[in-house]
Amino acid sequence: MNIPPDLKYTENDEWIRVEGTTGTIGITDFAQDQLSDVVFVEIIADLDETINQGDACATVESVKAAADVYMPVSGTISEINEDLLDSPELVNTDPYGDAWMVKINLSDPSQVDGLLSPEAYEKRCEERIA
């Protein structure tokens, strides 16, 4: 299980990489592994939309299930990864790189402090596997 140490995580298996006041968001390696082969990604948030922490920003469908992707923090959508529309399999092959879903301008950077550390997220994943 790949859990990069420079990210923060949610209970629902999203990750965020914060650089300044910009956050890049996607789903974790654990999530893509549980979903299996991803066949479709739909970004339901719009460019320049202000979206709240906990709101759905995307839907990921696999051969096994469909899952919503929730915002780990609040902010305004500044970029959408259009590559996922044609290549949803990137979620399986590169969940922390090319498979990012949206980038946002954080409206409340302190929300990041309430997210899970890599260690806490790893423990949460292990509890669900056991």
Return per-residue pLDDT of the chain as tens, 130 residues: 899 999 999 999 999 999 999 999 999 999 999 999 999 999 999 999 999 999 999 999 999 889 999 999 999 999 999 999 999 999 999 999 999 999 999 999 999 999 999 999 999 999 988 7
**What is the 8-class DSSP label of residue 116?**
B
Q: Which helix (H) or strand (E) holds 119?
A: helix 118-129
Is the pTM for the entire model greater than 0.85? Answer: yes
Please answer whether residues 79 and 19 qualify as being in contact, where contact means their C-beta atoms are separated by less than 8 angstroms.
Answer: no
- The domains of the chain, with CATH numbers, are 8-129 (2.40.50.100)
Cβ atoms < 10 Å from Cβ of 116: 18
Phi, psi of 86 (to 5 degrees): -95, -20
